[in-house]
């Protein structure tokens, strides 16, 4: 909605955040915080109007925690993902659903720290140890991208660092312009061209 100030008009576009993702970000679920590197590399970097995230895995380096299932994520996230309480179901689906949530939540927190939101993420590259896990991951991804989904590449790999417990790694790219809104003066005086 345009805002008018004296002789200047500023156009702003309000983005409507994903309600579920916004609720998760504002709750205690935001604690798995920003994507953090496990070694000497940048977890994310801005290049002009773009934010590039290194591959994010379900590891919390500060706590030496590898997410292995529902027990490693907050209760609200477990409920949101559909933990059944049935061992035979949760042991099969839990590791992939929990890792998917952890990774996408870390991406969301990192993009928000850079001043954006998940709707600014336009590209994901997803690496799976087993492509049969994609439908489970897709269910979780829909929680973070309820509007137009980002472009996507899915790849199966033989292994990931640091251990065989890692089932998924996701790289993200976001478009987050540095430029301020364009200010246009109102009532520009019309000057005739100067004749020489």
- Show the tokens assigned to 167: 């089932």
Res 42: pLDDT? 83
At 104, give phi and psi (nearest 5°). Answer: -65, -35
Neighbours of 11 (CB within 10 A): 11
Bridge partners for 46 per DSSP: 51
Helices (H) and strands (E) in the chain, counts: 4, 10
Res 61: pLDDT? 80
pLDDT of 23 > 80? The answer is: no
When pLDDT is cut at 50, 70 and 90, the band that residue 62 belongs to is: confident
At 28, give phi and psi (nearest 5°). Answer: -70, -10
At 135, give phi and psi (nearest 5°). Answer: -60, -35
Q: Is 39 helix (H, G, I), strand (E, B) or coil?
A: coil
Q: What is the pLDDT of residues 177-195, one digit of tens each?
A: 986 555 655 665 555 666 6
CATH code for the structural domain at 18-178: 3.30.1330.40
Comparing 185 with 91, which gets the higher pLDDT? Answer: 91
Comparing 73 with 18, which gets the higher pLDDT? Answer: 73
Query: By C-alpha distance, which of 136, 115, 120, 99 is closest to 172?
Result: 120
Rounded to the nearest integer, the mean pLDDT of the chain is: 82
pLDDT of 9 > 80? The answer is: no
When pLDDT is cut at 50, 70 and 90, the band that residue 73 belongs to is: very high
When pLDDT is cut at 50, 70 and 90, the band that residue 33 belongs to is: low
Residues 121-137 have a mean pLDDT of 98
Domain spans of the chain, in order of start: 18-178
Query: By C-alpha distance, which of 126, 139, 70, 75 is closest to 98?
Result: 70
At 183, give phi and psi (nearest 5°). Answer: -105, 120
Res 185: pLDDT? 58
Query: By C-alpha distance, which of 25, 24, 57, 37 is closest to 126?
Result: 57
Q: For the ranges 2-16, 65-79, 132-146, 175-189, which has the lowest average pLDDT?
A: 2-16
Query: By C-alpha distance, which of 51, 148, 154 is closest to 100?
Result: 154
């Amino acid at each position: 909605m345009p805002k008018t100030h004296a002789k200047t008009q500023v156009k702003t576009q309000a983005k409507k955040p994903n309600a579920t993702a916004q609720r998760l970000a504002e709750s205690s679920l935001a604690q798995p915080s920003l994507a953090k590197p496990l070694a000497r590399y940048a977890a994310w970097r801005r290049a002009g109007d773009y934010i590039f995230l290194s591959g994010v895995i379900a590891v919390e380096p500060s706590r030496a925690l590898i997410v292995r299932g529902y027990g490693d994520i907050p209760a609200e996230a477990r409920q949101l993902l559909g933990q059944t309480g049935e061992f035979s179901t949760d042991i099969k689906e839990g590791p992939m659903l929990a890792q998917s949530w952890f990774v996408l939540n870390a991406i969301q927190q990192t993009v928000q720290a850079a001043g954006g939101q998940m709707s600014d993420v336009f590209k994901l590259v997803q690496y799976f140890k087993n492509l049969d896990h994609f439908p489970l991951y897709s269910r979780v991804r829909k929680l973070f991208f309820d509007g137009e989904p980002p472009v996507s590449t899915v790849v199966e790999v033989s292994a990931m660092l640091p251990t065989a417990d890692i089932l998924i790694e996701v790289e993200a790219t976001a478009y987050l312009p540095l430029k301020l809104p364009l200010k246009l003066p109102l009532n520009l005086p019309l000057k005739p061209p100067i004749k020489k």
